[in-house]
Chain A
């Protein structure tokens, strides 16, 4: 092991530790960016290689920024509140039917607007909807949190991991979605069945209770007492009455991704155009201010992704790839794909899905789309196993909140232990079948 490799590994551990523990709410970028710079200055990573890494990550980060803004604008335009209304009507007062509606909305939201939108924006709406029909919200909130990870298989935009791996697959947008459609669908159905069985008592209990006698909660999410970290109410939190424009813009953006990919235009441009159109619409209607749009960009997070990419590149280039490449099988046989997915899931559970896919990509690139997609199945579905995304996060949370009783988490681990291995096997099998039927990557 060279000195450079040790230095790079120490830097990576430090970056991840700060990102997970966030001591005194220091932004992750505050440590990651200086460390990335230090690695270049100390010649652990040649400046040219760091620059190449930044340039390859730039479109991904631009895309991410646009999707973050798009999701927040959809919330400001009332799209999630409208989804809540649809879920409540579809349920007809039945918690089990509400769960099906929640699973459908969470799966589509995750696929189209990424897992961030599902976790941050949809989960509160799901809770409010369950409370509104008088159901016990636990199964529905749980399913939403689970699907934020497992339903992020479908599109290159659904998860940051997909964005990072998209180029390495060598696939177009439509082909990526086509290969991942069946794995995604099967995983979503599996989650619905598993959550439904696991929480069947909670789901049965309200059925038959007179819904008219149930709770009267406000139509929109009653979050008015919750403010941003800055303590200031964003201007655009009052949902618009007509979220149709947001829905149309999101739909048009999706079509744009397919077209742009076919003609060789980077999808980041399409996402940016969609975000700009919706931002202009919301700004004109005074539903948001330029400040709130700027904040939803989350610049520190974008800087963190770039810095993480550089640090991981330093680790790989200094010899980790040769050490790990023996562990990762090559080829697109069924066994190889399963093994790649399992290794990716394990790695995601040890560190986190983001560094996991960054570490795996250089080892898998150049062997066709199959292994890369299998790795994505592992890093996207896998985090549900330790529930908070990784062992490191879990350990930290245990230490930080040891005095809190968290009766819920034990059962989450139990359900994750059931669904994650099954999902990985089912999804990888469907991927393998898709690759075999359509003649490889």
Chain B
């Protein structure tokens, strides 16, 4: 049984702090990064569109993929240092939302952060990937704010009399 922490750019410090606070001292902590979608596809495609200039070594998509790996490694290292207790790290491949749900099978807890519209509470405060993971995770989920929300005011109640539920 392990506490899983999804480390992603921008949100990992909040997730790591939450794990440090809530994971029981006896639990293993595993930091997860997802290696996908940092833009290398678009750079590679733009290069492919340069008709006739193709020279493999100059493909910016390859350079970005290499830099992306280095950045992910650096992020996981920073996250491990910030956590301040022993942990393991793993980089997942494939579609982020599915890879995370699959990795969470049998986990004690999955820590992730809101990564959508952080200006107000509500469904849009979850990005599409996080939405999918929250909806499909087979384990308990700890969902944290990457920073204090701008407004914590509830939306106005719907008009009309309150519903009476049986």
Contact = CB atoms under 8 A, between A and B. Distances in A.
Contact of A127 (B14, B37, B39, B48): B39
Contacts of B66: 223, 225-226
A208 interface: yes
B66 to A, nearest CB: 6
Contact of B57 (A209, A215, A228): A228
Given A204-B116, A405-B94, A134 B67 contact: no
B23 interface: no
B52 A28 contact: yes
* Category for how many chain B residues contact A: 35 or more
A123 B71 CA distance: 16
B63 A226 contact: yes
Nearest to B94: A405
Interface stretch (A246-254, A324-332, A368-376, A388-396): A388-396
Interface of A: 16, 19-20, 22, 25, 28, 95, 115-116, 119-121, 123-124, 127-128, 131, 134-142, 144-146, 148-149, 200-202, 204-210, 213-217, 221-223, 225-230, 298, 301, 304-305, 308, 352-355, 383, 387-390, 393, 397, 405-409, 412
Nearest to A408: B41
Main secondary structure of the interface of A (DSSP, over half): helix
Nearest to A148: B46
Contacts of B116: 201, 204-205
A273 to B, nearest CB: 24
28 contacts: A16-B51, A20-B51, A22-B54, A25-B56, A116-B53, A120-B50, A127-B38, A127-B67, A136-B8, A137-B39, A137-B64, A145-B46, A204-B117, A205-B9, A206-B146, A208-B146, A208-B147, A208-B148, A213-B13, A216-B78, A217-B74, A225-B66, A226-B57, A229-B55, A229-B56, A301-B52, A352-B49, A407-B36
A136 B10 contact: yes
A142 B39 contact: yes
A205 B146 contact: yes
Contact of B50 (A115, A127, A227): A115
B33 to A, nearest CB: 12
Nearest to B54: A22
A294 B91 CA distance: 40
Given A146-B42, A207-B118, 20 more contacts: A22-B54, A123-B46, A124-B64, A128-B67, A131-B71, A137-B38, A137-B64, A138-B38, A138-B42, A141-B42, A144-B46, A145-B45, A201-B115, A201-B128, A204-B117, A205-B127, A206-B10, A209-B10, A388-B45, A389-B51
Given A228-B57, A388-B45, A136 B9 contact: yes
Contacts of A140: 39
B60 interface: yes
A205 B115 contact: yes
B60 A124 contact: yes
Given A141-B64, A229-B56, A116 B42 contact: no
B1 interface: no
Interface of B: 8-11, 13-14, 36-43, 45-58, 60, 62-64, 66-68, 70-71, 74-75, 78, 82, 94-95, 115-119, 127-128, 146-148
B42 A145 contact: yes
Contacts of B58: 120, 228-229
B114 to A, nearest CB: 8
Nearest to A387: B45
A145 B64 CA distance: 12
Given A145-B46, A206-B10, A388-B45, A120 B60 contact: yes
